[in-house]
Homo-oligomer: A and B are copies of this chain.
Amino acid sequence: MTKAVLTKTNPAMLNGVDVAALSETLNALHRQPELGAFQFRAKNAWINGGLNQSSIDGFFGAGKEETRSRPFTFAADEPPVLHGKDQGANPVEFVLHALAACMTTTMVYHAAARGLEITAVNSELEGDIDVRGFMGLADDVRKGYSEVRVKLSVEGEATPEQLAALAKMSPVYDIVSNSLPVEVVVETK
């Protein structure tokens, strides 16, 4: 069990995380495990060529529907060498952003829950991809990244080993490093 441990010596806020509120959440999830069920959503509309835009707004979580004050919108495009007009980061670059953000937040939250102060986190990510896979030119080349490397530079009290273990509790690390069922339905008009 890798359960987060809160001690009485923890301050109410640590690493910008309200540790007291986080503790209440953990207790609530113990009492009512069904509150842990979340559903996140995105809508996307194609614009032209490699350009499209997603809108992210409401979600379900902690037993109810939640809305945002405004939707978050993100364009995705491809650079000219991949036949786009570079009006946004490309989809595989967004994967690196999601992974960096998630590993950082996960490490910071879990450090806070354990009373470990962190004062800075910077990360650099690289993903190797052979576009012959995506292009359908080589069956032995996978379509996505063949490898991703994450380097986290942290200022804080914990050891690199502790911090790596906390960062690897990240949901996006799990999504990327392990397989996941993705159901695809296409309807035409």
Residues of A in contact with B (beta carbons under 8 Å apart): 1-4, 15-18, 21-22, 25-26, 29-30, 33, 36-52, 54, 56, 59, 61-62, 66, 68-69, 72, 74, 76, 78-79, 81-84, 86, 88-106, 108-110, 118, 120-139, 141-156, 158-161, 163-164, 167-189
Contact = CB atoms under 8 A, between A and B. Distances in A.
Most buried by B among A38, A40, A128, A172: A40
B29 A145 contact: no
A27 to B, nearest CB: 10
Most buried by B among A51, A109, A186: A186
A95 B92 contact: no
Nearest to A110: B136
Contact of A186 (B106, B133, B152): B152
Given A29-B131, A130-B36, A16 B51 contact: yes
Given A40-B93, A154-B188, 7 more contacts: A33-B132, A42-B125, A44-B123, A52-B100, A133-B174, A144-B175, A148-B183
